[in-house]
Amino acid sequence: MKIKALILMMICSLLLLAGCGSSSTAGNQKGQIVIGVSLQSFSDKFTTYIMQGMKEASSKNKNVKIIYVDAQNDSAKQLSQVETFIEQGVNAIVVKPVDTESMDPMLEQAKDAKIPLIGVNALFKGVKKAASFVGSDSKEAGILEMEAVAKLLNGKGNIAIMDGGLGHEAQINRTAGYKEVIAKYPDMKIVSEATAEWDRSKAMNLMENWLSSGRKIDAVVANNDEMAIGAQNTIKAAGKQGQIVVAGVDATPDALDYIKSGALNVTVFQDAKGQGGMAIETAIKAAKGEKVEKLNWIPYQVVTKDNVDQFVQKWK
């Protein structure tokens, strides 16, 4: 009798364990996918377009919840945000880095917690440690922008470079692209280079300083459209519109309006919404345990007055 009782107890225990297991699996299947997103700065216009793409992608997935946080251009704050996501037990993390050299602590902590981390937009040091990266090759943007400007200048002239935030991946590599192209043209030279920190108003002030110096400038190449627009606004106010070629990167809606009017000469389309959307789609796949590509490149395209209308449609 004792043996029968023991066997009966063992059978009951096994049944309970099996019941618990099936209940947990069903819960996972029905559970909501939560993705934590830390973005460099909500005040950065291009970042708002990335977020727009993220929201459009997540709206197609009813079982997905996105938590957006603003790192406010503070790498310490961004690290703290990622740590909070890990403590909350999110299913995946997406980061548009503040500092592309300081991602290691986030990558290591996410890896230890077995939470996939997806980088977006800015290529960072240690990217191979991330589950995936979605973005565009910043050096390619610089090369395309500068080649278009060189063509407009017939391969000769004085170039002023407006850098974004110094040390940012896009600033480093876009400017490297400019210099690589300029080196091919013996009659082109850099006469000024300074940062306007991605900002339109700061670019206006910087352009004013350059013009007041009396130095001859044939073209301004800016790391982004906001700075290009700022430079152009100052050039126009000084009565020099049409005398200086102005170029930027991103092909934002504002920049496309300036291209259509002839105020800007060149921009390079960077698909912000495409990057944001793919980052969320990749995060959802990674959260489900599906295989994802390590590097996802979205190509750039040169925009001029001749083809601007096709890019206007991309923002609608």
The secondary structure of residue 266, as a DSSP letter, is: B
Mean pLDDT over residues 194-218, rounded?
97
Alpha helices for the chain (secondary structure H)? 2-30, 45-59, 75-88, 104-112, 138-152, 169-182, 200-212, 225-237, 253-261, 272-287, 308-312
Per residue in 86-139, pLDDT tens?
Answer: 999 999 999 999 998 889 999 999 999 999 999 999 899 999 999 999 999 999
Residue 73, amino acid? N
Note the pLDDT of residue 28: 38
Residue 248 and residue 257: Cα distance in Å, rounded? 13
Residue 32 and residue 216: Cα distance in Å, rounded? 59
Q: Are 295 and 76 in contact (CB under 8 A)?
A: no
Per residue in 20-35, pLDDT tens?
Answer: 332 222 223 457 999 9
Q: pLDDT: is 283 or 61 the higher one?
A: 283
Judge whether residue 204 has pLDDT over 60: yes
Taking the mean position of all CA atoms in its chain, how far away is CA 145?
Answer: 18
Q: Could you tell me which of 207, 301, 218, 209 has the C-alpha nearest to residue 259? A: 301
Mean pLDDT over residues 57-82, rounded?
95
pTM for this predicted structure: 0.72
Rounded (5°) CA angle 56-230-166: 80
At 109 the three-state DSSP class reads helix
The CA–CA distances, whole Å, from 63 to 34, 55, 277 equal: 9, 13, 16
Residue 264 and residue 256: Cα distance in Å, rounded? 8
